[in-house]
Amino acid sequence: MMEKGDFFKLTKEGTGTGARLGTIRTGHGESETPTFMPVGTQGTVKALIPEEVAQTGARIILCNTYHLYLRPGADLIFRAGGLHKFMNWPNTILTDSGGFQVNSLAHLSKIGEEGVLFRSHIDGSLHLLTPEKSIEVQEKLGSDIMMPLDICLPNPSPYKKYEEALKQTSRWATRSKQFHEGKPGILFGIIQGGIYLDLRLASLEDIEELDLPGLAIGGLSVGEEKEKMYEILEGFIPHIPREKPRYLMGVGAPSSLVKGVSLGIDLFDCVLPTRLGRNGTAYCVYGKINIDNACFREDFSPLDPACDCYVCKNYTRAYLRHLFVSKEMLAGRLLSYHNLYFLGKLMAQIRQAIKEDRFLEFQREFQKIYQERSIKE
């Protein structure tokens, strides 16, 4: 079994910024940080085979405990040899706790001290997800990095609700650690507290008492303004022990990745790049483009002239637009591949800039060129 101290190694810290380099090592390989983790909700990164996901530079993917618990079931995946074998992904898998999904289905769930009682969105069957059950499911999946059950409230919520939620999250984290003690897999803690810095610091203090090997930041990017998210991160990230990896949950827009790295974040995940791809939107060096725009009908240039991915080397905007307006499934596959490659390359450029101690320069140049909104050409 891997010792906690072997899991993450901090290798370099930037000058005049919170940016940092590190290495995460699990039983399924190594990944340099900071890194972006594609989301494979149901044991697949939508529209792509695992080899294609790896080609984009990804070495860690996120899979969803809630969905895999309901279908096909953790016991079936366990009998198949674990999730890595079941989905043919040889590298590291991080699983969430399922808490975000059951909390987002408020009309189907009820939170209590024991856990979350909820009805399946698939067949209406009744389930009780406890901290212990969440970890048990993740252990059966064979997850490398696990998240404890937590409460993620929508924004805005009353201060008192955030306070109650973080205290419940802390109690559940204690139970999760006790249940998981001595078993394979790395267990993170999750920091909650909404948009209130004092609550974030209180949550951090609670979770740090458990001395878990990594810390996730939950409950952000759930409707608050980005500047507010950055303000909260700036306020409490300096209080996180430097030797532990920091994981900002559910964040994946290019500008947010660059800003997050500057604040000291090591891990990111988001469904955004593949969801955008399936809906005809592609990242490019200047911002996002909507491929169904009529201006691309006779545009025989690459999707992104600055990109060297398979899609940009072999297909034109005109062809990709044709696929999309014809509702061909290949459009979603190619755009999803490109978007993940774009983020993978962005993270590789960030890591190189940190290595060469020029991240601030890189950040300034990126902010000058990249527009988060969609652009027309």
- Whichever domain contains 86, its CATH number is 3.20.20.105
Whether 252 maps to a domain, the answer reads yes
Q: Are residues 129 and 265 in the same domain?
A: yes
Q: Are residues 236 and 313 in the same domain?
A: no
pLDDT tens, N- to C-terminus, the chain (377 residues) = 555 668 999 999 999 999 999 999 999 999 999 999 999 999 999 999 999 999 999 999 999 999 999 999 999 999 999 999 999 999 999 999 988 887 777 677 899 999 999 999 899 999 999 999 999 999 999 999 999 999 999 889 999 999 999 999 999 999 999 999 999 999 999 999 999 999 999 999 999 999 999 999 999 999 999 999 999 999 999 999 999 999 999 999 999 999 999 999 999 999 999 999 999 999 999 999 999 999 999 999 999 999 999 999 999 999 999 999 999 999 999 999 999 999 999 999 999 999 999 999 999 999 999 998 787 76
Decide which of 211, 246, 270 is a domain's last residue.
270
Q: Are residues 341 and 264 in the same domain?
A: no
Whether 59 maps to a domain, the answer reads yes
Q: What are phi and psi of 358, to 5 degrees?
A: -135, 30
Let me know: does 40 contact 69? Beta carbons within 8 Å. Answer: no
Q: Are residues 111 and 214 in the same domain?
A: yes
Q: Are residues 236 and 285 in the same domain?
A: no
Q: Are residues 153 and 83 in the same domain?
A: yes
Number of domains in the chain: 2
Q: Are residues 230 and 332 in the same domain?
A: no
Q: Are residues 83 and 123 in the same domain?
A: yes
Decide which of 214, 236, 270 is a domain's last residue.
270
Residues with catalytic annotation?
A: 96, 269
Q: List 216's β-bridge partners, or say none.
A: 190, 247
How far the first Cα of the chain sits from its last, in Å, is 53
Q: Are residues 40 and 176 in the same domain?
A: yes
Let me know: does 119 contact 125? Beta carbons within 8 Å. Answer: yes
Using DSSP's 3-state secondary structure scheme, residue 38 falls into strand
pLDDT at 5: 67
Per-residue DSSP letter, 41: T
Whether 299 maps to a domain, the answer reads yes
pLDDT at 1: 53
Q: Are residues 139 and 247 in the same domain?
A: yes
Whether 377 maps to a domain, the answer reads no
Q: How many CB atoms lie within 10 A of CB 90?
A: 13
Whether 375 maps to a domain, the answer reads no
pTM for this structure? 0.97
Q: Could you tell me the sign of the dihedral formed by the alpha carbons of 50, 261, 147, 39, in that order?
A: negative
Q: Are residues 130 and 248 in the same domain?
A: yes
**In 3D, which of 60, 69, 70 has the Cα closest to residue 40?**
60
Decide which of 270, 289, 314 is a domain's last residue.
270
Q: Are residues 312 and 201 in the same domain?
A: no
Whether 281 maps to a domain, the answer reads yes
Whether 374 maps to a domain, the answer reads no
Q: Which residue range is the domain that position 319 belongs to?
A: 277-369
The two three-digit tokens of residue 84, written as one number: 């890595």
